[in-house]
Structure 1
Amino acid sequence: MTKATTIKGGKFRVLIGDDATPIGYSAPCGFTQRSITLNKGLNEVNVPDCDDPDKVDWLGRDATSLSMTIAGEGVLAAESVETWLDAFDSIDSIPVKVEWEFPAKTITWTGAMHLESVEAGAANAGRATLNVSMQSDGEMVRTVTPVTP
């Protein structure tokens, strides 16, 4: 049996871009968990059976849109709090890069996203936490880069 090739959480990165040319990307400090969701919008249509109009229709689906959502959570880190607050205050979307670094290849999505929400919380005697959610603003371009020996 062949084992799956997996990656650790540190090889799953969410990076925020700066205003420089070219854009420089860095991972904000504090995330302990991150996730991306790839969404496909669909329209549904009933497809009738031409030979038996009384037969129950099957649904046909047509793709109408693609989007990406990023969610992250962790500690409220002084090193990145201004990055998150500046992104939230911005009327414009921000440059974002997502990387999945496997041993033989790296999959990267690059594009613009809006910081949709920032949620901070704290419990007595516990660490302050931060949750963020971002939504794509246009195409997130996917590239696959093989590792060269």
Structure 2
Amino acid sequence: MAKPTTMKGGQVRVLIGNDEDPIVYAAPCGFTERSVTLSKNLEEVVIPDCDDPDAVDWVGRDASSLSMAISGEGVMAEQSVETWLDAWENPNSVPVKVEWGFPNKTITWTGLMHVESIEATGANGQRVRKSISMQSDGEMARVVTPNA
């Protein structure tokens, strides 16, 4: 049986872009966990049986939209706290790049996202942890690149 080719958690990267031209992306320091959720919104329609109107109808589903959400946790790093705060305070979405780095290829999404929330949690004598949530704002364009 062939074993799957997998990636480690550090190869799921979230990079925030600046307002330069061209945009320069950097991964803010401090994430120890990150989650990327790809969603498809569906609209339902009941499809009747034309030959037997008394039969129980089946539900048909049509795709209506796609969305990406990112959540991440880690330590509140001084090196990146202002990057996150600037993105959260910005009334506009910010450029974001998301990478899944497999050994043989990298899948990259690029687009705009809103920093929806930042949560800082700390207990006496322990390091402050952060939780960040982001939501896509329009298309996140996907590109697959073979690794050399």
TM-score class normalised by the smaller sequence: over 0.9
* 1:101 alignment counterpart: 101
- CA–CA separation in structure 2 for the residues paired with 1:8 and 1:39: 22
More displaced stretch, 2-11 vs 105-114: 2-11
SS in 2 for 1:72: strand
* AA of the residue aligned to 1:2: A
Question: How far apart are residue 115 of structure 1 and its match?
Answer: 0.4
- CA–CA separation in structure 1 for the residues paired with 2:102 and 2:135: 25
Residue ranges of structure 1 left out of the alignment (5+ in a row): none
Question: How far apart are residue 72 of structure 1 and its match?
Answer: 0.6
The within-5 A match list for 1:1-149 is: 1-148=1-148
- CA–CA separation in structure 2 for the residues paired with 1:33 and 1:60: 37
* AA of the residue aligned to 1:37: T
Residue ranges of structure 2 left out of the alignment (5+ in a row): none
Question: How far apart are residue 103 of structure 1 and its match?
Answer: 1.4
Question: How far apart are residue 124 of structure 1 and its match?
Answer: 1.5
Question: How far apart are residue 12 of structure 1 and its match?
Answer: 1.0
Write out per-residue CA displacement over residues 3-45 of structure 1, whole angstroms, 9 at most, x where no aligned residue: 1101111211000001111101110000000011011111101
Q: RMSD of aligned C-alpha atoms?
A: 0.7
* AA of the residue aligned to 1:11: Q
SS in 1 for 2:6: coil
- CA–CA separation in structure 2 for the residues paired with 1:100 and 1:121: 28
Q: Percent identity?
A: 67
- CA–CA separation in structure 2 for the residues paired with 1:124 and 1:138: 41
- CA–CA separation in structure 2 for the residues paired with 1:73 and 1:125: 19
- CA–CA separation in structure 1 for the residues paired with 2:147 and 2:33: 25
- CA–CA separation in structure 1 for the residues paired with 2:82 and 2:93: 16
- CA–CA separation in structure 2 for the residues paired with 1:128 and 1:141: 34
Question: How far apart are residue 146 of structure 1 and its match?
Answer: 1.1
- CA–CA separation in structure 1 for the residues paired with 2:7 and 2:37: 18
SS in 1 for 2:68: strand
Aligned residues: 148
* AA of the residue aligned to 1:137: D
